[in-house]
Amino acid sequence: MSENLFGLTVAADKGLDDLQCQRLLSENRRYQEVMLQYRCALKALESRLEILNEEFSLQHDRNPIESMKSRLKSPSSIMNKMQKRGLSLDFPTMQANIMDIAGVRVICSFEEDVFFLAKCLKEQSDIEIITEKDYISHPKPNGYRSLHLTIRLAGCRYSLLKKRSVCRWRYNSVQSLWTSGQALSIPSAIRKTCR
């Protein structure tokens, strides 16, 4: 028995790992074209954020962005997410339903910088905010705090933008180690400062 994955026929009884998915899809021209759109969206968003960072630096003698990292979701991660949601594995369905294929994580110096950058992006005429999840003002039960924006740049695909302060990023990093058993505890001074 075989299964159609993005226009490719694959044996249904054989699971695909990231490398196998990448090999199969890298030969698929349509996949390459679609992912190029997401790579372009990432570059456009990164460029926009770098410009905002430089403008802010000129006006206020400091940079609100400490670091920025972008990524494209792996083919197997995209497929797994679509399968979990019961979606058909085709490009139009992927493009209409998976909003975090392209993602940028921005680490800001202070929480107010997170909201300042979000405001600046919202004021851009060629950026549409699709969704906004404010986990800074309304933290998750586990303490997670970040601002997530799903945006669409004119002519580009969706991108997920996650922004948080340096303190929150460090706290989440330590907490991640703690929950995975790699660290013993989070010092109470850090816990109080970053919550």
Rounded to whole angstroms, the Cα distance separating 68 from 163 reads 9
Strand 65-72 vs strand 102-108: parallel, antiparallel, or unpaired?
Answer: antiparallel
- The pLDDT tens digits for 85-106 are 998 888 888 888 998 898 899 9
Q: Which amino acid is at 32?
A: Q
| Highest CATH level, class, for 2-194 | alpha beta
Rounded to whole angstroms, the Cα distance separating 104 from 148 reads 10
Rounded to whole angstroms, the Cα distance separating 159 from 152 reads 6
pLDDT at 16: 59
For the chain, percent of residues with pLDDT exceeding 90: 15
pLDDT, mean over the chain: 76
Is-contact 78 101, C-beta < 8 A?
Answer: yes
- The pLDDT tens digits for 116-143 are 999 998 998 888 888 899 999 999 898 8
Strand 8-11 vs strand 127-134: parallel, antiparallel, or unpaired?
Answer: unpaired
Rounded to whole angstroms, the Cα distance separating 14 from 64 reads 47
Task: State pTM to two decimals.
Answer: 0.70
